[in-house]
């Protein structure tokens, strides 16, 4: 499994990537939509984990931009609280899961596996 983590909190995504590496999940990270799009051009990721609220370009908008380049990529969103409008917008856009911050890594790994298998319906995890 090869994943892309995108969040403007560098310490969060870099640490997450390292911890996923310990679990044999290869992860790259980006702190902006621009960086993420550059990485998507170069690598083929199975899943992108995106923060909903990022500077300049939101996670939702980034998802649409990535989908134009890689239509089969799957998405998981990270959110601070998960407002109703966020869930609605994400579900309509085809997001598979929402994970609340702070994350539980075992939950992220479980959702990554489910998203990759494509067996589960979209849901939220708090």
Q: How far is the CB of 121 from other proteins (least distance, A)?
A: 26
Contacts with 9 (C-beta within 8 Å, 6 or more apart), sequence order: 31, 51
Q: Which of 35, 46, 53, 67 binds other proteins (CB under 8 A)?
A: 53
Q: How far apart are CA 45 and CA 52, in angstroms?
A: 19
CA torsion, ordered 99, 104, 106, 110, to nearest 10 deg: -10
Instruction: Rule CB under 8 A: say whether 71 interacts with other proteins.
Output: no
Q: Report the phi/psi class of residue 104: left, alpha or beta, with left for phi > 0 and alpha for psi in -120 to 50.
A: beta
Instruction: Rule CB under 8 A: say whether 124 interacts with other proteins.
Output: no
Instruction: Rule CB under 8 A: say whether 126 interacts with other proteins.
Output: no
Instruction: Rule CB under 8 A: say whether 88 interacts with other proteins.
Output: no
Interface ranges with other proteins (CB under 8 A): 9, 11-12, 15-16, 18-19, 22, 53-56, 80-81, 101-103, 105
């Amino acid at each position: 499994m090869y994943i892309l983590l995108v969040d403007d909190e560098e310490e969060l995504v870099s640490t997450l990537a390292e911890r996923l590496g310990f679990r044999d999940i290869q992860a790259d990270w980006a702190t902006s939509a621009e960086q993420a799009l550059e990485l998507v051009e170069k690598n083929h990721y199975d899943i992108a984990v995106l923060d909903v609220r990022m500077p300049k370009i939101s996670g939702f908008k980034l998802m649409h931009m990535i989908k134009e380049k890689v239509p089969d990529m799957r998405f998981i969103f990270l959110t601070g609280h998960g407002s109703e409008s966020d869930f609605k917008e994400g579900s309509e856009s085809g997001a598979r899961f929402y994970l609340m911050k702070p994350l539980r890594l075992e939950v992220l790994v479980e959702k990554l596996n489910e998203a990759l298998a494509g067996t589960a319906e979209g849901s939220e995890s708090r």
